[in-house]
Amino acid sequence: MGTMELLNVEPLELKFPFELKKQISCSIQLSNKTENHVAFKVKTTNPKKYCVRPNTGVVLPRSTCDVIVTMQAQKEAPPDMQCKDKFLLQSVAAGPGTAPKDITPEMFSKNSGRVVEECKLKVLYLPPPQPPSPVLEEPDEGMSPKVSFTDSTMKDSTVKDSTVKDSTMKDSTNLNSSQSSEAPRQYVDSHDKSSEARSILTKLVEEKNAAVQQSSKIQQEMDLLKRGGNKSQGGGGVSIMVVIAISLIGLVLGYLMKK
C-alpha cells in the first residue's frame, strides 16, 4: 500500500494472470484520508495496451474510489513473462464541490503552484490459474447411506441366482452320484457277458476242431473200405458194410452240426 498525504493506493503492483487472446482486469483502490476533495489522474507508458476507468476523478473526503485497469487481449507472451509497463497516479487537493467534469490537465501541472503527489505502479504477469482438482465428497457421519432401487434389485437377483445355482448344483451332484454308482455295475455286467461269450466261443471252436478231426478220421476209414471193396470178389457183403458206415457217419455229422 502506498502512503501519501492525500491518498492511500493499494496495491502498488498491478498483477495480471496472463492468458493469450483474453482481456484481463485488475483494480486499484484509492482512499482519501483528508477532509478535502482530492482529484486524481492515471497515466501509463503504454496507453494502447491498457484501458483505465476512470482515468480521472474525484475522491470525496474520507471515502474510497476503485479504478479498473484492463489489459487488452494479447497475441503473444513477452519473453520470460516480464513486463516493463508502468502506471503513474497523480493526485491534487481540489476545492469543495469539485466534480470530475471540472478536472483539467493544468490542475496536475507542477507550475500551477499546487502540490501534486505522484505514485508509480508496476505491472506483473502471473501464470493463469489452474482449475481445482475434483474432490470426492464423503458422506456425513451418522447418516445412513441411501439405498437405491437398483441396489435392492441387484441384491434380490443375486439371492435368486444363488438359490438357483445351489439347486442346480445339488441336482447335478445327485446325478453324478447315481451315474458313478451305476458305472461299476455296468462295467461288471459287461465284463461278465464278455467272459461268457468268450467261453462259449472257445467251446464252439473246440467242438468244431473235434468234428473236423472225426470227419477226417471217417474219411480215411471210407477210403480204406473203398480200397478193400475193390480188391474183394464178393461185393455183396462189402456193399452192405459201406452203406452202414456211411449212415453212421451221416448221423455223427448231423449230431455235431446241431450242437
**What pLDDT does 45 receive?**
95
Secondary structure of residue 229 in the 3-state scheme? helix
pLDDT for 131 equals 73
Residues facing residue 89 across a β-bridge? 42, 119
Query: What is the pLDDT at residue 42?
Result: 97
DSSP symbol at 180: H
Q: Cα–Cα distance between 57 and 39 in angstroms, integer?
A: 6
Q: What is the pLDDT of residue 235?
A: 46
Per residue of the chain (259 residues), what is the pLDDT tens digit?
555 789 999 999 999 999 999 999 999 999 999 999 999 999 999 999 999 999 999 999 999 999 999 999 999 988 888 999 999 999 999 999 999 999 999 999 988 788 999 999 999 999 877 777 666 666 555 555 454 444 444 455 444 555 445 554 455 445 455 555 555 555 545 656 677 777 787 887 787 787 777 777 778 877 777 776 655 544 444 566 766 777 778 777 776 766 5
Cell of 174: 445327485
pLDDT the model gives residue 57: 97
Run of H or E including 183: helix 149-231
User: 184: cis peptide before it, omega within 30°?
Assistant: no
Please say whether the beta carbons of 123 and 12 come within 8 A: no
Cα–Cα distance measured from residue 221 to residue 245, given in angstroms and rounded to the nearest whole number: 9
Q: Are 16 and 122 in contact (CB under 8 A)?
A: no
Element (DSSP H or E) covering residue 185: helix 149-231
| CA geometry: angle 141, 144, 148, nearest 5 deg | 135
